[in-house]
Amino acid sequence: MPAVKLLLPSLLLVSIFYSGAARAAEDTGPKAYDAAKALYSAEKYAEAEQAAQALVVARTKELGAEDKETLRARLLLAESVFLLTKYAAAEAQLRELLPVVTKTFGKEDRETLRCQSTLLSTMAAQGKDAEAVEQYRRLIPLETRVLGAEDPETLKARRRFAKALSDQGKLDEAEKEFRAVLPLCERVLGPEHPDTLRSVATFITILTKQGQYKEAEEKCRSLIATDTRVLGPEGHQTLWDRGSLAKILRSQKKEAEAEALLRELLAISTRARGAQDRDSLRIQFELAGALSSQGKNHEAETLCRSLIATAARAQGPKSWETLKARRRLAGILTLQKQWQAAEREYRQILPLYEHEFGPVAKDTLRCRSDFIESLTMQGRKTEAEEEHRRLIATLTQARGADDATTLTKRGEFAGFLHEAGKQPEAEEEYHKLLADCDRVLGPENKDTLRLRRNYCLVLLDLGKLAEDEVLLRALLPVMARVYGAEDRMTFICQSDLNNVLARQGKLAEAEAEYRRFITASTRVFGAEDADTWAARKNLALARYEQGKMEDAETEFSAVLGHNARVLGPENADMLQLRLMIVQIHVSQEKDADAEAAARELLPLVTRVFGAEHRYTLGCRSCLVEVLGSQGKGTEAVEKFHILIATETRVLGPEARETLSTRSGLARALNNLGKRTEAEKEYRQTLALQERVLGAEARETLHTCHNLAVCLDAQDKTPEALTYAKRALSGRLKLLGKDHPKTQSAQTLVNDLTKKEAKT
């Protein structure tokens, strides 16, 4: 029974400590140190801190402040404080301790090296990654020379070094270091040693950060089997690693599976360790996230409020666990559109994060990023942009412009500009950022490649499709070489290329590529994988663009059924799919179906996204289109004007959605017989579409066709024929001769040609 053998000595010492707590406070001998160490090894860090503090006081009084045994107790105290996430306090203790330890033990003694290694970990935890990494690069060769390459202390320093690299965002180097050190840990310490198991767990976290979910999940399931056999099903490491598996599942959007696992873990942890244990608190935090991701925000909020109360009572109101739970609550309040409550929560906890962990610690940065996201979701884009710029300035001053975290936040800012509809600014930001990443990280660094892929998305939205296709075709083989041909990032890049082909009207080629992609994704990731289903959605969209409405509707409905089961009824992807089906009904002139579906969908998207989100506005646009088709033209025109004013204010006058709605207004005016007004609206919209989307964009050609119809109704046949021929030429090139829209344009040209011949 390995678990019993491993835990029994520690448990006996813990028992001894508790039975003689008063005596231990006065004892300065080895037994008192061993009792405190046992608490530390049993991961009872708060109790270990108390015991070590009492021991430091007793030994200082009896032996002196610089006695070796006193210093060992002080080092244990600092390590306990560190693992309680009191990083600033731990760093202060270790900086005070290090020169004394160096003087007493010697510069190359094991205790001195241990003190240095722990100090560097406290620095990395506070966001001082670059400084920690550079000092680790000097410390590890020293430990290797003095202690040996396979000494446990050297291996621990290498593991901490790899973790610091990961925190700095240097995931490739961190992965390489872990792959080198893990075999040594297994050979020297043994594959079932707690330090080896913890190292594997950290390595799995790095794989997850890199998006290597398949390998991460496989390794995590294997690790859990070992944990269960060695440490028992209720051991801390077992629960921790099963919680990590839930996070990996969530990263793959397997939220329902993650929720079931987390509920099981919470029952085990609560029964074995109590509701206030750190494991129980961590599991509740993840469970709240899984619930929220499925749209179960009310239940998630209730759980979060209970978690905050428990964590504050058990760990303190300023503890890492309490602040993390409050940050989760603020995010859930944001999703529920409780803007004031969310903002109040963020503004309260941000100063606490900065005070407790430092202004550039990773948790502080995460909280600031969440706050920026909350501002963005409220439509307060100017404030959000100011916060982004302030954050980047803080990082640049504290860490430097070339620091990996600074580059990461610049990437987030470029992404914000893209999502805010500021594509030209986003393009410029990405262009400058990629030049810096190529120089600092290298052109084949994984972070650089991910940013280059995001840059391609901006080009897509700018309508620079030919340039985008060239870049993606160049990027794809590099992705395959660096990540691997069957890595998820390579698949995502291929999916992006397929989407660009579709957007250029190369629909037959895009459809063939989507089908190949679905086959490969099913083989590599499984039929139920989120990316496999995303490709099926894109395939449905390609068939929709080819005018194959029934096929598209069938495929969309299949994807919708899957997402309803996996993601929940109020998930963003779910609602987007439902909106696509409404748009298909509109295109098929199934007015009753479209109206019923849109009226059912509108309150959902309004509640989930807000009244002015682009999905909500899109749903409103479909409803107005249906009104016009049902002969309620006057009401439709009135509602179109209101909608255009909102979209112009929220999305901008040149946004694709705004232009589409203006085109809809022109159609409604034309249907009412208000030809002059309709012609004016068509001409203004067309001029904007030509400038923003391009002369041969689908929307531009659609407006050309409709303008030709409007001009024909006014007997302006020659000019109508000019626009009709332009629409036909563009659609032949973009969609092919068999597409319904091309055939419609051909019919219009034929009719106008005959009409002109008669005059």
Span 547-551, average pLDDT: 78
Q: Which of 19-28, 214-223, 580-589, 631-640 has the lowest mean pLDDT?
A: 19-28
DSSP 277: S
CA 479 to chain centre: 20
Q: Write out the two tokens for 641.
A: 């004007």
Looking at residue 588, what DSSP letter applies?
T
Distance from C-alpha of 717 to C-alpha of 753, rounded to nearest angstrom: 9
Sign of CA dihedral 530, 536, 539, 543: negative
Structure tokens at 55: 């021991």
- How far is CA 65 from each of CA 28, 60, 61, 700, 731, rounded to the nearest angstrom? 13, 5, 8, 80, 85
Q: What is the mean pLDDT of the chain?
A: 88
Of the chain, the end-to-end C-alpha distance in Å amounts to 100
pLDDT of 28 reads: 62
Whether pLDDT at 6 is above 50? no
* The token pair that represents 415 in the structure block: 């992404």
3-state secondary structure of 680: helix
Higher pLDDT: 361 or 286? It is 286
Q: How far is CA 44 from CA 2, 52, 88, 230, 738, in A?
A: 21, 12, 20, 20, 71
Give one DSSP letter per residue of 571-582, joined into a string: -HHHHHHHHHHH
Distances (CA, A) of 80 to 46, 59, 74, 93, 629: 7, 18, 10, 11, 71
456 in Cβ contact with 431 (< 8 Å): no
What CA–CA distance (Å, rounded) separates 75 from 59? Answer: 13
pLDDT > 70: percent of the chain? 96
Backbone region of residue 613 per phi and psi (left: phi > 0; alpha: psi in -120 to 50; beta: other values): beta
What is the C-alpha to C-alpha distance for residues 175 and 481, in angstroms, rounded to an integer? 16
State the pLDDT confidence band at 21, using cuts at 50, 70 and 90.
very low
Tokens of 206: 């790095």
Angle subtended by helix axes 194-209 and 171-188, to nearest 10: 160
Cα 637 from Cα 669, distance rounded (Å): 7
Q: In this model, does residue 671 exceed pLDDT 70?
A: yes
**The one-letter amino acid at 571:** N
Euclidean distance between CA atoms 127 and 106, whole angstroms: 29
Whole-number Å distance between alpha carbons of 28 and 420: 63
Taking phi first (over 0 means left), then psi (-120 to 50 degrees means alpha), and beta for anything else, what does residue 337 get?
A: left
Whether 312 shows a pLDDT value over 70: the answer reads yes
d(CA 733, CA 738): 11
Residue 140 confidence (pLDDT): 94
The pLDDT value given to residue 214: 85
> Which pLDDT band holds residue 194 (cuts at 50, 70, 90)?
confident
pLDDT at residue 9 greater than cutoff 50: no
Mean pLDDT (whole number) for 601-616? 85
Ordered alpha helix ranges (H), 484-590: 488-503, 507-524, 530-545, 549-566, 572-587
- 477 versus 171: the higher-pLDDT residue is 477
HSE-CB at 233 with a 13 A cutoff on CA atoms is 6
DSSP H or E segment with residue 649:
helix 633-650
Bigger pLDDT: 709 or 544?
709
Per the structure block, which two tokens stand in for 505? 């009207």
CA distance 318 to 356: 8
pLDDT at residue 59 is higher than 70 = yes
CA gap 749, 742 in Å, rounded:
11
In b/e form, how buried is each residue of 42-71, taking b as 16+ CB within 10 angstroms? Answer: bbbbebbbbbbbbbbebbbeeeeeeeebbb
What whole-number distance in Å separates Cα of residue 358 and Cα of residue 86?
11
Q: Is the pLDDT of residue 425 over 50?
A: yes
Single-letter code of the amino acid located at 670: N
Residue of 708, 706, 662, 702 whose CA lies nearest to 681:
662
Per-residue pLDDT band at 283 (split at 50, 70, 90): very high
Distance, C-alpha 63 to centroid of its chain: 53
Buried b (16+ CB within 10 A) or exposed e, 735-757: beeebebbeebbebbeebeeeee
Amino acid at 178: F
Residue with more model confidence, 536 or 530: 536
Q: What is the pLDDT of residue 27?
A: 59
Among candidate residues 261, 204, 193, 258, the one with its CA nearest the CA of residue 227: 193
pLDDT at 18 over 60: no
Q: 276: which DSSP letter?
A: T
- Is 712's pLDDT higher than 60? yes
pLDDT per position as a tens digit, 479-497? 999 988 988 889 999 999 9
Q: Are 236 and 244 in contact (CB under 8 A)?
A: no
Burial status of residue 715 (CB atoms within 10 A of its CB: 0-12, 13-18, 19 or more):
exposed
For 219-262, the pLDDT digits (tens) are: 999 999 999 999 899 988 899 999 999 999 998 888 899 999 99
Q: What is the pLDDT of residue 171?
A: 83
Yes or no: say if 191 and 226 are a contact pair by the CB < 8 Å rule: yes
Given a cut of 60, whether residue 14 has pLDDT beyond it is: no
User: Where do we find the tokens 């997850």?
Assistant: 208
pTM for the whole thing?
0.67
Residue tagged 């989307």 (tokens): 693
User: For 506, which DSSP code?
Assistant: -
Q: Within 10 Å of residue 230's Cβ, how many Cβ atoms?
A: 20
User: What does the block give as tokens for 4?
Assistant: 């019993």
Statement: residue 10 has pLDDT above 60: no
Q: What percent of the chain has pLDDT over 90?
A: 54
Q: CA–CA separation, 223 vs 729, rounded Å?
A: 61
8-state DSSP, 192: T
**C-alpha span between 425 and 417 (Å, rounded):** 7
Contacts of 474 (CB under 8 A, 6+ apart): none
Q: Which residue has the higher pLDDT, 574 or 54?
A: 54
Distance CA 156, CA 625 (A): 65
The CA distance from 678 to 636, in Å, is 14
Query: Could you give the CA distance from residue 41 to residue 30 in angstroms, rounded to a whole number?
Result: 16
Out of 308-317, 328-337, 560-569, 607-616, which region has the weakest mean confidence (pLDDT)?
560-569
Q: Which residues contact 509 (CB under 8 A, 6 or more apart)?
A: 501
